[in-house]
Chains A and B, each alone.
Chain A
Amino acid sequence: MTKDNIFMKASNIKKVYAHSMGQLEILRGVNLEIKEGEALAILGSSGAGKSTLLQIMGTLDRPTSGELVCDGRDLLVMDDEELSKFRNAEMGFVFQFHHLLSEFSAIENVMIPCRVAGENPKLAQEKAMNLLEFMGLADRAHHYPNELSGGELQRIAIARALVRSPKILFADEPTGNLDSQTSLKIQDLFFQLKQEMKLAIVVVTHDLAFAKRFPKVYQMKDGQWVHP
């Protein structure tokens, strides 16, 4: 951690795709600093590059150029094994779709990151159950994804993202696939989690109302920030 409590810093991030008609610039030298426990939203229309930025910051994709430092470590020099461990320990992800594994029950889906980290299966199950209780889903722990509603599935996906107590949570349109009532509940859950777990949250959304609830909102257009 730096003196300014900057947990993650992305500098001059560029992402260019080779295209039959030439080169397609998705990100044009984006900079972003995220402080410890900070919550921010990234707004933008489709194709603005906000999801690509989130994926690069979450090490799910690599930039064409730029620097990415998290918790004092240069993420772009890490190999696959190191990055996987880092993701498992420090980062959580929530997507528009829940992406739960259909062969695993709710509690098993939540405990997967703990098992991947090599935690004792019993302890992992205990942690997963505590989180499901916190989410109000204890009675759904042994249900399979096809037996759960959209809101429940998304809450389980959030529990899976948080079970390893990450320092940062990346969410890409986490309410994009939910009805307005369930969406509000999930939004509330994010802010409750931020308070209780002191984790940094980066949310990419189309939803202006959701974005406005964040203390810091960035807007992106054509692969760069739109300055107010």
Chain B
Amino acid sequence: MTAVAAPALPKRRSLYPGWFYAPAAAVYSVLFLAPTLASLYFSLTRWTLFDATFIGFDNFAQFFREPFLVQGLVNTVIYAVVTSGLKVVVGMLLALMLTSEIIARGYLRSVIFFPVLVSTVGVGITFTVLMHPTQGMINQTLAFLGMAGPGWLVDPRLALFSVALVDVWKGVGLATVIYIAGLVAIPRDYYEAARIDGATKLQNFFYVTLPLSRPATATVITLSFIGGLRTFDLIWAMTKGGPGFASDTIASVIYKQYQAGFYGLSTAGNVVLFILIAVLVVPLTMFLNRKQGHE
């Protein structure tokens, strides 16, 4: 009864008619394509929500003319590189530790993952309190040890990196989990072979673990890099882009333009962000995935 149909099945492109896609396509068009196209149009206008005047590429010219908007762009890239870089390194180290035979492994795994589950804004506010230059717990501890702590969030040279560190603290759990999955998927045979060849622990890591966990690395980099480029909530909760414009990223700049009522300008900023992400991430993923294909 069941064996009859299978061999006789003719070669067909699909069992289902194409219009089965229609509902999904409709939802996608209404909720994604239409707003995207509309925003492309509005980015070329001076828009008050009440009416829009077409002004060509003036918004984009404005966006790149202002010093703090350009700084926001630079900060965004710095932030993305720093956070994704640290997440790769720290995530890998934590995953190595948590896949080895250590005490309370399950407990430690949940501890590392816990910050991922907490609300970003809550984390931001908590760390803002901890990083207060005079009354914060971090600097008070440093003062107790006889060191003068820096103004984590009020020193313009440090603010962006302080936020990036908190981002890593909060997000490294996810990177660790991805790496743990990647590490346990490496067959034990490789390690046995390496041991027979007399490989040291360090050689084990650099010649077996690291190359074979490349898919995990690619995932971690892509996810955290995109996340870093469009980061907003943590920055807004901790510094609002301050002091001055020192920790502005492109997303916080866009939000401030929107808040000020420059709807056209902020839409133009979103188009810039969209292009920036595409320009940086598409080649990055192609690069990471091509290497993987050659394994």
Please determine whether chains A and B interact with each other in the same assembly.
Answer: no
A residues near B (Cβ < 8 Å) are: none
